[in-house]
Amino acid sequence: MLEALQLPFIQRALIAGVLVGAIASYLGVFIVQRRLSFLGDGLAHAAFAGVALGLLLGTQPVYVAVPFAVAVALAITWVRERTSLGEDTTIGVFFAFSVALGVLLMSMRQGYTADALSYIFGSILTVTWPDLWAVVLLGVLMFLLLPLWGRWAYATFERELALADRLPVLRQDYLLAALIAVVTVMSVKVVGIVLIAAFLVIPAATSRMLSPTFARMTLWAVLIGVMTSLLGLFLSYYLDTPSGATIVLIQVALFLLALLLRQK
């Protein structure tokens, strides 16, 4: 393994895996408490359509997938706030739209679609420099936004009170949705489109059962996200298993352990 760490594509995979694990779990805490799990699922499929469009255009897929997924995230939030349709219905519509669009775009592409499969099931060893730079950029952005944690927590706990205190609750909704969209696209290569929703939610759900306060829940979720990503990547290297599936299976194992250990 030590000599493997010398290889640039392994280094990129590790850095991307750890960063994406941390950011996804951090946002996952808000996803779990706001009951937005389905949003992660919908946005993962928006990422699929974005990736398909990028492949068709012959550019770095991440350059197309990020704006596309963010646009879908903002649209979902907008429709949800302007209509009385439920969250699930709104997301369901955009979910279907994205999958249909993605399939259509894939079919328009000439030739072999093996690389498309690597997006669906993840393929961390194909993380490119542009992928990594995008992840690092998102990491810096999230770090700069850390001081807003308390306000996000407040609006997550009691939306009405936060509104009464004139916190910019609506702006937060859009910002959170956009950030979730970005981290979703970043997670595509790490765990694959079909596992992203789990990757976003399970560390937060695990720490939720062990933490008495939201602060600790956040801390533990990030820790679990980072550790399971690292462990999963090492294991998948040694056992020659798919990285995404390995990470998510470890997360589920931890989740089950927390379920047993949970107080009350």
The residue ranges that bind another protein (CB under 8 A) are: 33, 147-148, 150-151, 153-154, 156-158, 160-161, 163-167, 208, 211-214, 216-217
Nearest distance from C-beta of residue 140 to another protein, angstroms:
16
Choose between 71 and 210: whose C-beta lies nearer to another protein: 210
Structure-token pair, residue 158: 């009691």
Query: Please, what's the b/e burial string for 196-223 (b: 16 or more CB within 10 A of its CB; e: otherwise)?
Result: bbbbbbbbbbbbbbbbeebeebbebbbe
Count Cβ atoms below 10 Å from residue 19 Cβ, excluding itself: 22
Report which secondary-structure segment, H or E, holds 122. none
Nearest distance from C-beta of residue 157 to another protein, angstroms:
5
Nearest distance from C-beta of residue 22 to another protein, angstroms:
20
Alpha-carbon span 113 to 124, nearest angstrom: 18
- Residues whose CB falls within 8 Å of the CB of residue 223, separated by 6 or more in sequence, listed in order: 207
What is the Cα 260 distance to its own chain's centre?
26
Choose between 6 and 213: whose C-beta lies nearer to another protein: 213
Nearest distance from C-beta of residue 170 to another protein, angstroms:
12
Nearest distance from C-beta of residue 3 to another protein, angstroms:
44
- Cα dihedral 223, 88, 176, 168 in deg (nearest 10): -130
Choose between 49 and 221: whose C-beta lies nearer to another protein: 221
Choose between 117 and 164: whose C-beta lies nearer to another protein: 164
Residue with tokens 């770095």: 60
Nearest distance from C-beta of residue 260 to another protein, angstroms:
19
Choose between 31 and 47: whose C-beta lies nearer to another protein: 31
Choose between 109 and 151: whose C-beta lies nearer to another protein: 151
DSSP secondary structure letter of residue 165? T
Q: What is the 3-state secondary structure (H, E, C) of 16-44?
A: HHHHHHHHHHHHHHHHHHCCCHHHHHHHH
Choose between 95 and 214: whose C-beta lies nearer to another protein: 214
Nearest distance from C-beta of residue 208 to another protein, angstroms:
7
Alpha-carbon span 109 to 104, nearest angstrom: 9
